[in-house]
Each structure stands twice: as C-alpha cells, then as structure tokens.
Amino acid sequence: MLRSPNHSESRSQPVIVANPDYDKPGLNQTSPTRSTDNRGLIDPLEQTFAPLPASAKEAEAIAPMLPGVKLLTGSMATENALKQLQSPNILHIATHGFFHTDVEPPYVDTSTILPDTRSAQPNVRPLENPLLRSGLALAGANLNESSNQDGILTALEAAGLNLLGTKLLVLSACETGLGDVKNGEGVYGLRRALAIAGAESQLISLWAVNDYGTNKLMVSYYQRLIANTARSEALRQTQLEMLSHPTYQHPYFWAAFVPSGDWTPLNNR
C-alpha cells in the first residue's frame, strides 16, 4: 500500500544529485558487503554508463535558485549519500535511469547507452520483482561491485529512503515513470517506490530523454517554481515554451515528463 498523502513540513535543505562519476567509487561508500536486494539479483547491470555533461550544467543553473541547497556531484553523488538523506524539501536527481520489462529474453547480447540520452539498455536476466528491474545509476556504477553500495539504486531500495516531508522529487532521467502494471494494484516502479518513501509530488519521465533538451526544460521549470507557480502549471508553461523553441519543439524533447502527486504551488501551505 502507498502511504497516505504527506503534508508534514520538511526542514531539511534542498538536495541536487547530478552527473555522478560512474567510473569511480564514491568518496563516502561503505565497505563492500553482499546484499540480497541489489546488483547480485540484477545479475548485474553489465553495462557502461556514459557521462552526462548537460546534467552538470543543469545542476549549476538550478542550484542558485534553491537557497541552502546541498550539491552532490561526481564521486559524491553516491547511493549511500542518497540513503542518508533526511527529508530534503526538494530532491533533484539528474542521472541515468532504467526500467526492464519482465518479457525480455534471458540474455541480451549487447549493452549500450543510447547516445545523448539519460537511458540505459543493460544486459540483464528477467526478475519477478519489478522494483528490482528499475532504478538509477550513481557514482561507481561502472565498477560492477557486488555490494550493497554498488552505485545502482533500485526502486526497491528507493522505497526505503526517508522522504517524508519532501515536497518535490524531480527525476531528471529516462523512463523513471515506467513500471509493471499489476491488476488491481497499479504500476510497480520508481514512481510507486518514491511515493512509498514519502515524496509529496514527483516529476518523472516516460521515455529516453535527451540530455541537453532536459537541461533546458529543467532550468525553465525551476524558474517558474520559485515564482510560486503551481507545480503542474509550471510544467505546462515550460512545455509550451519548449514547443516554440526552434531546436527543442519536437515532443520527444519535452513530452516525456509528467507530474505525479500534489501539484499545487510549493509554498501553498
């Protein structure tokens, strides 16, 4: 079951997680230990996550709009750092996201990252639990560590985050709104997991999004948010702006992002 709508006020600073260094272990990683809910079960995400340079620029542009923001980038953008957060008012994560259906063949011959996108096409074996088939890549994800701090935050792990009081969680990544549909139970994936964790509202994506187009969309979205435009209206206005942009007018660049949860202004209460 999802938690009841959360209307508690967070007193924690906003947090931005962006441009993780996928090739280096995080500076605040714990000692490797075996985990029953992590990479070992995914077997594993044997793939190479490419850098997302526009996500770093995205973080740099958004950070000044959020007073007191905590910025986690590079080797500091770790799985462990996310797990230790205590109800940030706003949580923005810009990285690679993934979702695998349960109808994939047992093995995939190649593993690729789609060019200039925040999406992964990994080499995996099907898993029954859809919360183990979706997640986010963080620092050290390319090292293929068999530990509970392996750089891959699965949706199952995300459900255990402390996001009670978090007004807005933005997943500036690919396919973060996807999941398996269970009759009578809804969609199982990152969106459900983060709602269970307590996030009041989310901005999620439905397909592989372009790195640079997403950067532009997010900066424009936050400009409207800090002007106290309602969360849903801020997205609508931003998408209309993208529609008139000569480079990013195609729906591919902006229509993937959809709201979930409470979409009144952030300072409504």
Residue with token string 């793939």: 47
Number of structural domains in the chain: 1
Would you state the torsion angle of the CA atoms of residues 198, 202, 205, 209, taken in this order, to the nearest 10 degrees?
-110
Nearest Cα neighbor of 73 from 89, 90, 58, 88 is 58
Measured CA to CA in angstroms, residue 110 lies from 46, 47, 84, 122 at distances of: 9, 9, 34, 8
* Within a domain: 179: yes
At residue 46, the pLDDT reads: 59
* Within a domain: 5: no
At residue 24, the pLDDT reads: 84
At residue 42, the pLDDT reads: 36
Residue 115's domain comprises 15-261
* Within a domain: 2: no
* Within a domain: 267: no
* Within a domain: 10: no
Q: Tens place of pLDDT for every residue, the chain, 269 residues?
A: 454 455 566 678 999 999 999 998 755 443 332 222 332 333 334 568 899 999 999 999 999 999 999 999 999 999 999 999 999 999 999 999 887 776 444 443 434 445 565 555 555 454 567 788 888 999 999 997 766 778 999 999 999 999 999 999 999 877 554 444 443 344 468 889 999 999 999 999 888 889 899 999 999 999 999 999 999 999 999 999 999 999 999 999 999 999 999 989 998 65
* Within a domain: 194: yes
| CATH of residue 42 | 3.40.50
At residue 146, the pLDDT reads: 67
- Determine the Cα–Cα distance for residues 206 and 178; give it in Å rounded to an integer: 6
Residue with token string 């529609």: 243
Contact 87, 22 (CB under 8 A): no
At residue 119, the pLDDT reads: 57
At residue 145, the pLDDT reads: 73
* Within a domain: 110: yes
- Determine the Cα–Cα distance for residues 34 and 148; give it in Å rounded to an integer: 6
At residue 45, the pLDDT reads: 46
Residues in the chain: 269
At residue 132, the pLDDT reads: 84
* Within a domain: 43: yes
Measured CA to CA in angstroms, residue 171 lies from 29, 34, 218, 256, 259 at distances of: 22, 27, 10, 12, 11
At residue 206, the pLDDT reads: 86
